[in-house]
């Protein structure tokens, strides 16, 4: 068996680091590996550890010359940055060749949003699958989760991390912990509060059993819910319509608020965005909505004059 090349050893160590320390899925690891292998081929006989900033620039120019789209180039840059940061921290290299390499300007991809009718269909789809007390308790929990994700525009991690003490029903809101462990207040509408109240009264005690748990939403046996389980609940609730995800409920909440006249600063606060430029994408969605309404209803939009 031929000995491993230096490139193979470094890539193997990096893949193990990403899998163990970062918990990345096999599909993501494979994508990173393809990006790094492509750069290794570009370098030819020179090892990855000897790459310079000029190599990075020539590699990017080559991708542009071959009409690789901006999103793919940005992903490859991200893969290379992560790899060389790892080598730098591991003292394999002394200088990071990706330093000050800018990502290409990308078209903003508008997040997908559900209609109000589709949201209603999802909450209706959380009905109990049988007449058992446990099935009814799970249905109450699932409906409350869908309503809370949409009403509060929550991330899935914010929902799974929500505790009983974070819920402030009298004030109509809950405290959530977002990215960077930053706290914010998420307002909840009357519909979500009623769903949560019914779950707390008739569902959560059945799921908790004899177990004491600080978490608001529980699995059977009183354990906290995983992110994967929340995804399963949302997917199952949307099986009769468009495939939905927890993040689509968050996007839908923001989209509907902007479409109904909410100002961006308020939406930014509700979503917990650190920078309003992240929130501004919803102004594009509002513009698209206005264009669609115009094309559908304006008498001069459909035919030539």
Catalytically active residues are 155, 179, 247, 250, 273, 282
Q: Are 141 and 217 in contact (CB under 8 A)?
A: yes
Sign of CA dihedral 201, 207, 211, 213: negative
> What SS3 state is found at 187?
strand
Q: Are 158 and 178 in contact (CB under 8 A)?
A: yes
Whole-angstrom CA distances from 144 to 68, 197, 200, 299 are 44, 9, 9, 43
Q: Are 271 and 250 in contact (CB under 8 A)?
A: yes
Cα distance from N-terminal residue to C-terminal residue, the chain: 75
Distant-in-sequence, close-in-space partners of 108: CB < 8 Å, separation ≥ 6: 281, 284
Whole-angstrom CA distances from 177 to 14, 56, 182 are 31, 38, 5
């Amino acid at each position: 068996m031929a000995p491993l090349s230096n490139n193979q050893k470094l890539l193997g160590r990096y893949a193990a680091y990403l899998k163990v320390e970062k918990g990345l899925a096999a599909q993501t690891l494979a994508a990173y590996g393809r990006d790094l292998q492509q750069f290794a081929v570009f370098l030819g006989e020179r090892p990855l550890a000897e790459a310079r900033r000029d190599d990075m620039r020539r590699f990017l120019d080559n991708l542009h010359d071959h009409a690789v789209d901006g999103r793919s180039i940005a992903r490859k840059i991200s893969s290379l940055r992560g790899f060389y940061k790892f080598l730098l921290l591991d003292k394999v290299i002394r200088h990071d060749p990706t330093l000050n390499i800018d990502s290409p300007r990308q078209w903003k991809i508008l997040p997908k949003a559900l209609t109000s009718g589709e949201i209603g269909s999802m909450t209706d789809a959380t009905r109990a699958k049988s007449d058992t007390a446990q099935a009814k308790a799970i249905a109450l929990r699932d409906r409350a989760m869908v309503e809370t994700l949409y009403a509060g525009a929550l991330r899935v991690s914010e929902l799974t991390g929500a505790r009983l003490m974070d819920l402030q029903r009298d004030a109509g809101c809950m405290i959530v912990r977002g990215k960077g462990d930053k706290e914010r207040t998420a307002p909840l509408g009357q519909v979500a509060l009623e769903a949560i109240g019914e779950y707390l009264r008739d569902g959560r005690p059945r799921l908790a059993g004899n177990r004491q748990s600080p978490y608001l939403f529980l699995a059977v046996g009183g354990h906290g819910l995983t992110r994967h389980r929340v995804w399963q609940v949302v997917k199952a609730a949307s099986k009769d319509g468009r495939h939905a995800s927890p993040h689509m409920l968050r996007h839908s909440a923001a989209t509907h608020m902007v479409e109904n006249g909410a100002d961006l600063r308020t939406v930014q606060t509700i979503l917990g965005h650190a920078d309003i430029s992240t929130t501004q994408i919803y102004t594009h969605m509002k513009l698209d909505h206005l264009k669609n309404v115009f094309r559908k209803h304006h008498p001069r939009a459909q035919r030539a004059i």
